Structure 1
């Protein structure tokens, strides 16, 4: 092809920090990047479209050499004999017709030939997954410079937390710092960097009430010191050892899940009698000098009994303690000032943009609209998500879903998948799945080990519930939708049987599914069992833009 003589070809370019994913061929020419994937099939399947769209998505978002370029996904099933066609924005052609596509791209006048070497060496800057970031910090290695994180002022936000914490410590003051944000916006990243910052003037500790997250991090790092369980930390200091805490800066991740007084009394068997926020603030009474609590809060994610009090738990805790002032985002100001509590507005402390990628923010919006019954708006977002390489697909056959995922990640051992389900969906056994028990001890293995490991989530034998996946992610989860939340008529209806004493069980169910719907980095597959009571839910998903596998 003389038309393409001075164009660039890159074979099997491996996307950095992406688990070994590599498109078969990159063709560079004229400000256009063809992303070409060959498949040993006679016709493309759903997983093939999603795979090549995923490559285009990640290259366009993270690869410096693809900025301001037009990226074109191309599928070439080697046994395909039909005419070229386009579907979901992907051009599909037989091997003999690939030349036609390249000639078409190469036909326009070129100002200069592409610099293939420079393209290959261009920076690729995805946000590291939470576990990877923790590993780097634990090993005292610098986090990679992430363009998205810098654009969202993550370094400036960390510096502001450090400044306020140091000022409080130096002046022997007590300060509560509140940081809110949407899922994936970098709250935990701020907490990790602050807890292990060398710029703090006092010892710090990172606590979490999220047991599965603590379990995964401790498993990966082989250390119980990097992140600690809030429940165990409080018991150690207030009950077992009755000693002053060494740390003067306490960082509490997922603070929206803080237990109220009744839940603390129940879980600590009467040994502690106050809310978790009040107990954390009370630690200041045991030390001399300043004390700082940094609360990292995701909003609308309360899923446990005892978590429904939300920000009011923190207002009551500050009211019941002495000498505390509060810094946080503007939208929480009134809750504290109405209670007579000093409050400094910090604009940097509300994180409204997901760092994962544009798709993650859109997925959260889709889930919110879908659960809110706004079908047309949800469908528009789902269509756009598919176009940018983040498909939401569904099937009523669990084996079909598993085959789709294995096709999608064929040859990429590092990718992590698994089944997730509502804690109220108790009849998974007919589909070959068991729900993780409440005392599940294998979260580290479930999330981090490959399919060959007997406890790996990739075997699709054990489903993790909303309690086991909040704050954690998979590359492509399978959400097993249960009959506990169904679309009936014109609304979502909860079917819970005998529920615990909670204020709003339906809202907790919506929150649970909101968490479950937003766990995927590369896509989401929904398994809707064939039971008749879920027919309306299946149809609702279809109208909200979910594609059948």
Structure 2
């Protein structure tokens, strides 16, 4: 990827002819060039060649790439240790909220993911060329990003000079080094899907530092398995494991995208039983294609149909293949959250009651393997497995896949990591007992051991596990590592939690409230888990929409948010999961009172629900634990206080109402 379409010292920029600069911009622009863009560049060049005459020693770059977002900053100016990010709105006579949010997004992205910008002062500037003059106000965030400056075509130089007089930066920037800096993004799964779908590689949108498993290496390993299966005419099943947020879905999307090629007979599909995830990704891809496409024939419906061929609901895929015994068009199938596939009992019951198929007697893993097994020569299944992620009745976990392989498909080759036998994946079963040495191949790259969802801290999943294990010693130690880089708070005041989220989120960063699906007694606090959200609207609409996550009115449950993430979350803790005498109590609210949950599987689902909720925040989290009420037997303080005190013992800091 070309980092900038044009980049030179300002001294040279002032000498270059506008036509030659425009020529570089045009040549490096890989998409169809519209007159609107061309005219915008001409205006920017004219304005900046006039405004930067007294900035000898500065450096300028046009159209600097932000790969995670799939976009480019209009102009970057580097001078005296400061990075200025300019977003031009040529012809605009006002400073719009969208422009302010956009340039702040770029600045936050540079600060978090661009290595040479970690220690720099970054100043976002909105240049609405025809807008009236606004007073220059410098307000700095804790990480040395400044609140956006509003400028017009006539006062850019004036404001830059004033800023340089007020801010003294000790760190000098080598412009060439900055321009070619390592970029280590950790995109949300929505951003990743959009970037991959529009042609970016997994290398461009994934981190590459030594603390994270290289997702490209995992993708290469899977590709080699597919190529071997194709060459040797073998059928193979590959299991990718990883901690929550480690990038399993990203790896799966990358493979599905790379192999999404009907012409070469390798048509791949990304399948998930997670309805909200599928709906959100399909909608996000469709919206992004319509927004970025200049072809008026690209309608929302057409874009949505195209996205549905790439990402499908696994139950729709199943139902389609029940209508025929023919081999499907797909030879490569990626099953996301494969541990959530249905057991034989659940699948048989559903097919009998809902599909009137009384002779159906297979687990979902067995049936799904049978569909790909219809191919005469080769096929590959990639199963993405998350430990401790089963949250619903009838979800099989990993053992059901191996039972199906052993009982019905011994001719399939099996590839897995050396971590697959961990109890959180197997529930204590010896899943390899029926496989021969020739059938099983161990590849270490098939396990992703470090969370990359939370780019501020890769220890979050370990901390959450310690909390749910009630392992105070480990939680205390991990919290010491978390507190400096990952804001984690606990509060008894929901309004304080909401205000904290609003104060933390910048630009278009996502924020929202989450709660357990059985948290019915959070209703007195305004959290109605029975009021279902529309995931597409909740995740994708902006903060002005009352139905959106950022409006902080509607809470998402573990079913809505599993597989997705936000930057900042409030986890509302109810008394379904409570501490008594140093151990968990598992409760279910039925009618007017709490009942004990005695079934071990249902207990595991409840614990896993909170595991999901506590691992959704990329940047920071506040946990709201109500104080309860002595006047309400369903919300007694003794239900909540032990959990609150346990978090304090773990070192989680208190968020007070005035903070």
Structure 1 length as normaliser, TM-score? Answer: 0.78
Matched, 1:450 2:542: yes
Question: Which residue of 2 is the match for residue 300 of structure 1?
Answer: 388
State the SS of the aligned residue for 2:646.
helix
Contact 1:278-1:320 at 8 Å conserved across structures: no
Question: Which residue of 2 is the match for residue 180 of structure 1?
Answer: 241
**Distance in 1 separating the partners of 2:319 and 2:602:** 29
Question: Which residue of 2 is the match for residue 432 of structure 1?
Answer: 526
Name the count of aligned residue pairs: 489
Query: 2:602 aligned to 494, 505, 509, which one?
Result: 505
Aligned in 2, Cα 1:216/1:350: closer, same or farther, shift over 3 Å?
same
Question: Which residue of 2 is the match for residue 253 of structure 1?
Answer: 336
Matched, 1:540 2:646: yes
Contact 1:466-1:512 at 8 Å conserved across structures: yes
Pairwise CA distance, 1:293: 1.1
Which digits, 9 at most, give the CA deviation of each residue in 1:56-86, with x for residues without a partner?
998776322157x799xxxxxx999xxxxxx
Aligned in 2, Cα 1:172/1:480: closer, same or farther, shift over 3 Å?
same
1:21-32 alignment, distance < 5 Å: none
Matched, 1:406 2:537: no
Query: 2:398 aligned to 305, 311, 332, which one?
Result: 311
Contact 1:7-1:114 at 8 Å conserved across structures: no
**Distance in 1 separating the partners of 2:108 and 2:587:** 38
Which digits, 9 at most, give the CA deviation of each residue in 1:335-384, with x for residues without a partner?
45411342111121111122345544211111111111222331332233
Pairwise CA distance, 1:283: 1.1
**Distance in 1 separating the partners of 2:484 and 2:313:** 41
State the SS of the aligned residue for 1:136.
helix
Aligned in 2, Cα 1:381/1:89: closer, same or farther, shift over 3 Å?
farther
Which digits, 9 at most, give the CA deviation of each residue in 1:103-156, with x for residues without a partner?
9x96xxx9xx54368547745431222111111232334456256247533223
Query: 2:517 aligned to 423, 428, 452, which one?
Result: 423
Contact 2:546-2:553 at 8 Å conserved across structures: no
Question: Which residue of 1 is the match for residue 154 of structure 2?
Answer: none
Question: Which residue of 1 is the match for residue 114 of structure 2?
Answer: 63
Question: Which residue of 2 is the match for residue 517 of structure 1?
Answer: 614
Aligned in 2, Cα 1:7/1:419: closer, same or farther, shift over 3 Å?
farther
Matched, 1:212 2:291: no
Matched, 1:487 2:579: yes
- Structure number with greater Rg is 2
Pairwise CA distance, 1:159: 2.0
Contact 2:491-2:623 at 8 Å conserved across structures: yes
Contact 1:305-1:502 at 8 Å conserved across structures: no
Contact 1:212-1:469 at 8 Å conserved across structures: yes
Aligned in 2, Cα 1:121/1:374: closer, same or farther, shift over 3 Å?
same
Q: Which runs of 5+ in 2 are unaligned?
A: 1-55, 84-104, 122-136, 145-163, 287-303, 422-428, 589-593, 629-636
Pairwise CA distance, 1:491: 2.0
Which digits, 9 at most, give the CA deviation of each residue in 1:467-518, with x for residues without a partner?
1111110111111101001122212221225588954322222211111101
Contact 1:281-1:321 at 8 Å conserved across structures: no
Contact 2:488-2:652 at 8 Å conserved across structures: yes
Q: Which runs of 5+ in 1 are unaligned?
A: 1-5, 35-53, 72-77, 81-87, 91-98
Question: Which residue of 1 is the match for residue 131 of structure 2?
Answer: none
State the SS of the aligned residue for 2:547.
coil
**Distance in 2 separating the partners of 1:404 and 1:9:** 38
Matched, 1:373 2:470: yes
Question: Which residue of 2 is the match for residue 393 of structure 1?
Answer: 489
Contact 1:258-1:277 at 8 Å conserved across structures: yes
Question: Which residue of 1 is the match for residue 285 of structure 2?
Answer: 221
Structure 2 length as normaliser, TM-score? Answer: 0.65
**Distance in 1 separating the partners of 2:178 and 2:415:** 45
**Distance in 2 separating the partners of 1:173 and 1:165:** 9
**Distance in 2 separating the partners of 1:149 and 1:295:** 24
1:260-271 alignment, distance < 5 Å: 260-270=343-353, 271=357
Contact 2:271-2:335 at 8 Å conserved across structures: yes
Contact 1:256-1:298 at 8 Å conserved across structures: yes
Contact 1:416-1:450 at 8 Å conserved across structures: no
**Distance in 2 separating the partners of 1:384 and 1:55:** 28
Query: 1:126 aligned to 148, 164, 185, which one?
Result: 185
Pairwise CA RMSD = 4.1
Query: 2:408 aligned to 311, 321, 325, which one?
Result: 321
Contact 1:416-1:448 at 8 Å conserved across structures: no
**Distance in 1 separating the partners of 2:335 and 2:566:** 23
**Distance in 2 separating the partners of 1:259 and 1:354:** 27
1:58-137 alignment, distance < 5 Å: 62-65=113-116, 113-115=172-174, 119=178, 122-137=181-196
**Distance in 2 separating the partners of 1:462 and 1:181:** 30
Question: Which residue of 2 is the match for residue 338 of structure 1?
Answer: 433
Which digits, 9 at most, give the CA deviation of each residue in 1:281-311, with x for residues without a partner?
111343322122110111121111222x422
Greater RCO (Cα-Cα under 8 Å, separation 6 or more) = 1
Which digits, 9 at most, give the CA deviation of each residue in 1:144-172, with x for residues without a partner?
62562475332232122122123223333
**Distance in 1 separating the partners of 2:346 and 2:599:** 11
State the SS of the aligned residue for 1:353.
coil
**139-148 vs 525-534, greater mean Cα deviation:** 139-148
